Structure 1
Amino acid sequence: MKQYAILLMMLGLTTAISAQQQTIHLWPGNVPGETTAKQAAQVTADGSNNVKRLTDVTDPILEVFPAAAGNNNGNAVIICPGGGYNILAINLEGYEIAAWLNKLGYTAFVLQYRVPKKEAGALQDAQRAIRIVRSRAAEWGIQPGNIGMMGFSAGGSLTARASTLYNVNAYTPVDRADSLSARPAFGVLIYPAYLDKGENRSLTPELKPDAQTPSMFLFATSDDFYGNSALVIAGALRDAKALVELHFYAKGGHGYGLRTGNPAAEVWPPLLEKWLKATTGKL
C-alpha cells in the first residue's frame, strides 16, 4: 500500500513538471541587495524523506504551472516553500502543491525566493512575484485581482509578511510591473513559523495586520514546535478585524506537505479547497 501511495505521489509530481511551461526570472538586471552573481539554485546533498532541497538562491524565479484550459477557474496561487529561510523544500512544499492546485483549476506559481538567511531579499522577491503575475495575468487566463499566496513553515512566514507589508516599498521599482499593487488577494499559511517572535512569544513586531489585510486560512497542530505562530497571527488578525479561518489539530508535527500517511496532511487539503472556493467566489 505504501509503495502504491509513493507511486501516485510520483505520478502527480510528474504531471506537475510536464505541465510547467515557463520559468520567469524576477529581476531582469541586478537583484536588489544581492552581492553574489546570479546562478541556478543549488540542490543540497540532503535528500532525506524524498525531499529535494534547494539553497544558494541568488537568481529568484517563478516556475509556472498553468491550469488546464478546460479547468481554469481564473484564480492563481503563488506558492512559497518552507525551509527555515535556509533551504527550499521545493518538491514537498512546491511542485506537489502546484499539482494539487492545478487539479482544482488554479494556476500555480512556485517561488524560488532567496536563501539562505536573506529574509529581506525574500520579501522583495515575494512582492516582485505578485506584481509580475498581476502584470501578465492575461497570459494564463487569470484575473489580476485574484492572485493569492500560500506558504509552508518559513514560506508561511513570508506569506504573512507579504500579506501585511504590501504597502511597504521593499525595493526600488525596476519596470512598469512595479507600479501595481503587491497585495495578495488572500493568504494561506500551512504550519507557519516565526510569527511569534515578539515579547513573550507575541506577534512578530514586523507584522502589521489591519482591516485591509487579505483574508487568511491557517492550519497547524498542537504538537508542532512552531504551532504557536498560527495561534498568535490568528489572534492578531481577529483583533485587526481582518478575515481569518484557523484550524488547529492535535497531531501532525511539522513539514508534512500533503503527502499521505500523516493525519494532518490528509485533513487540511479538503478544508482549504472549500475555503478557497468560497473566498475566490467573493473576489
Structure 2
Amino acid sequence: MTAHSAPPHLDRRALLALGGAATLGAGLAGSGVTAPRPAAAQGLVQPDDPAETVRLWPGLPPGAPASLPREVIVNRFTESGFQDRIATGIGTPAMTVFRPARPNGAALLIIPGGGYVRVVIDREGFECARHWAAAGVTCFVLRYRLPVDGWADRSRAALQDAQRALRLIRATAAAYGIDPARIGVMGFSAGGHLAASLATRHGEETYAPVDAADRLSARPDVAALLYPVIAMAAPHSHPGSRAALLGASPDPATEAANSPHTRVTTGTPPTFLLHAGDDPAVPVENSLMMYAALRAARIPAALHLFETGGHGFGLRRTEGLPVAAWPALFDRWAAAHGQM
C-alpha cells in the first residue's frame, strides 16, 4: 500500500478556532468559540491542552452544508465543579494528540459522548487520554461532527469521521511510534455507540476515498465500550441519541441498521464492555444486548456490570465506588489481547 504522508496539523490560530486551549480563552475572541473562564480564575490547576491537533479531512468534510456550523466551547464548571468543556457546532472534525514520553506501541482513539448533540471534551476525552498517555499509549481524542448540524447524510457523518480517524492513525503509525496492529477504540455513551459502529461497520464504504490513507483498514484491533448507547429501538434506546442521529420518526429498518448489536460479524474486534446497573440515562440492557451479539458471533468479549456508578462517570466520578476499578480491568483485558 502507498505510504501516506502525515495529515495537515493545525496552526495556532486554527487550533484556537477548534477550542484547543481553554487557558488561552482571550485568544478566542471573534472566532465563534465561547471561551470558558481560565482555569486559574476557577481555582483549578489544569494542565495545558496538547498543541498537536490533526484535521481529518484535507478539504470540506463529506456532505458539508452550504455554511459550516460554528464551533462553540462551553465550560460547565459551575455545575460540575471541575473543568468540564463541551463542544457543539463542529464543522472541522479533528483529533487532539496526546503523545506519551515513552510510547509503548499501542494507540487509542478515544471517542467522548454527548448524546450526538455535543462532544464532552474533558471528562470522557482529555482526562482519559492523559491517563493512558502516562502509561505509554499514544492517544487521539476525536472531536466528531454532530448529526444535528445539517450534514447531507446525518446518520453517517460521525461514522465517516471515526473511520477516517482510524485510517489516519494507521497511516501515520510509524511517525508516532505506533504498531499499526495495536490501535484500539474507546467510546463513552453516544461515543460508545460510535465506537461500536466503527467496530461493526469498519468495512462499510461511507464516503468516497480522498487519499492513500483511505486504502487502509478502519478496523480497530480492540474496542472498549463504556456505558454505550447500542439500541436505537424502544424500549432500551436512549431517546436523545436516537432522535439526534436518526430524526424524530425513523422506521424500524433504519433503527436496526444503526443498532450495533445487529451488525456484529466475524470481523468485529474483541470488545470490552462496562456499565452500571443504576445508569439513569442509558439502560444497562444496551451492554447486555451487545454482549449477547458478540457471544453469538464468538467474538472475544468481556462484560463488567457494577451495581452503582450512574452514567457519564469517566475517570472522575468513581471515587469510593467499586466501578473505580474499570481502568485497571481494561488494561489487563487489553494486555491479554496483546494491545497494551
1:42: Cα distance to partner? 1.1
Please tell me whether residue 29 in structure 1 is matched to residue 59 in structure 2: yes
In the other structure, the counterpart of 1:3 is: none
- Structure 1 residues 140, 189: closer, same or farther in 2, change over 3 A? same
Question: Is the CA contact (8 Å cut-off) linking 1:40 and 1:59 kept in structure 2?
Answer: no
- AA at the equivalent of 2:307: A
Of 55, 72, 90, 1:57 maps to 90
Question: Is the CA contact (8 Å cut-off) linking 1:63 and 1:110 kept in structure 2?
Answer: yes
Structure 1: 5+ residue stretches without partners: 1-6
Correspondence list, 1:49-198, <5 A: 49=80, 50=82, 51-69=84-102, 72-115=103-146, 117=148, 118-193=154-229, 195-198=230-233
Question: Is the CA contact (8 Å cut-off) linking 1:75 and 1:280 kept in structure 2?
Answer: no
Instruction: Specify the SS of the correspondent of 1:14.
Output: coil
Please tell me whether residue 263 in structure 1 is matched to residue 296 in structure 2: no
Of 214, 233, 239, 2:290 maps to 233
Distance 1:54 1:218 in 2: 26
Distance 1:281 1:109 in 2: 16
Per the normalisation by structure 2, the TM-score is 0.73
In the other structure, the counterpart of 1:42 is: 72
- Structure 1 residues 262, 164: closer, same or farther in 2, change over 3 A? farther
Instruction: Specify the SS of the correspondent of 2:142.
Output: strand
- AA at the equivalent of 2:298: K
Distance 2:216 2:188 in 1: 26
Q: CA RMSD, aligned part only? A: 2.3
Aligned residues: percent identity?
38
Distance 2:174 2:287 in 1: 34
Distance 2:320 2:190 in 1: 20
Instruction: Specify the SS of the correspondent of 2:156.
Output: helix
Q: How many corresponding residue pairs?
A: 268
Please tell me whether residue 276 in structure 1 is matched to residue 334 in structure 2: yes
- Structure 1 residues 56, 116: closer, same or farther in 2, change over 3 A? farther
Question: Is the CA contact (8 Å cut-off) linking 1:55 and 1:116 kept in structure 2?
Answer: no
1:146: Cα distance to partner? 1.1
User: Which is higher, the Rg of structure 1 or of structure 2?
Assistant: 2
